[in-house]
Amino acid sequence: MGDSMGHRQIVSRYLLPGLYTKPEPLDQILIRDCDIALWEPTTFYGEGIARATGGPFSHTTAIVIWHGEPWSVGFEEKRQGHACPLRAEINRHPDRIHLFRVKRDFDFPIGNVREALLDVRGDYLWSNIKAIALLHLLKWVLSFQRVQDMISEMSNRTGGGICSQHVSRGWGEQGGVRFTQKPYEQTTPNDIGFSPVTEYISTPIPGG
């Protein structure tokens, strides 16, 4: 399945072990409140994060339905807490944003999760992402408890965070759903993508 973007044909491709993308026009996808968008890198910096954390993803945002339209909400470098119509993000980055969903066999208060994911007050914690990248890059050399403690200490506040910390904290504290056994501040986009509690939904592309 695919769609034409200028001269480029968007087709199904490998994403994760045992998983190939399902590109579909955004308007044809049933998107729900609190779905999760996992982003492949769109910058050289993003490529570094993806490589350092062992997977295809470098960024994550929450999806919130607002006035009938899906919005992408989260923390982003240079933009801090940020919300944008998902349609605009898809137009800018076709075939780079993938929708995942927490499996429905969990009983969670979706309203509480939504409220937490909408709270993007605070700053993007650059120190966290740098420390997490260092932790992954040097994990075969370091006894890294000190680095883990440093990340936790920097994140002991409710305001601010990094993209995956925001999503994992909202789901964990308000929904009782944990993507990984790691603390929220050490969770990466790839932890969410590889998590047994999430499932791939679709890869939205422009069009209707």
Q: What is the residue whose two structure tokens read 């939904």?
A: 201
Assigned domain for 2 exists: no
pTM: 0.81
The encoded tokens of residue 133 equal: 């990248």
Assigned domain for 67 exists: yes
Number of domains in the chain: 1
Range of the domain at 161: 13-205
Assigned domain for 143 exists: yes
Per-residue pLDDT tens for 93-119? Answer: 999 999 999 998 778 899 999 999 988
Assigned domain for 8 exists: no
What spatial distance separates the first Cα and last Cα of the chain, rounded to whole Å?
14
Assigned domain for 4 exists: no
Q: Cα(10)–Cα(54) distance, rounded to whole angstroms?
A: 25
Give me the CATH number covering residue 143: 3.90.1720.10
Assigned domain for 156 exists: yes
The encoded tokens of residue 30 equal: 């049933």
Per-residue pLDDT tens for 132-174? Answer: 555 555 454 444 455 555 545 544 444 445 788 889 999 999 9
Q: Cα(179)–Cα(194) distance, rounded to whole angstroms?
A: 9
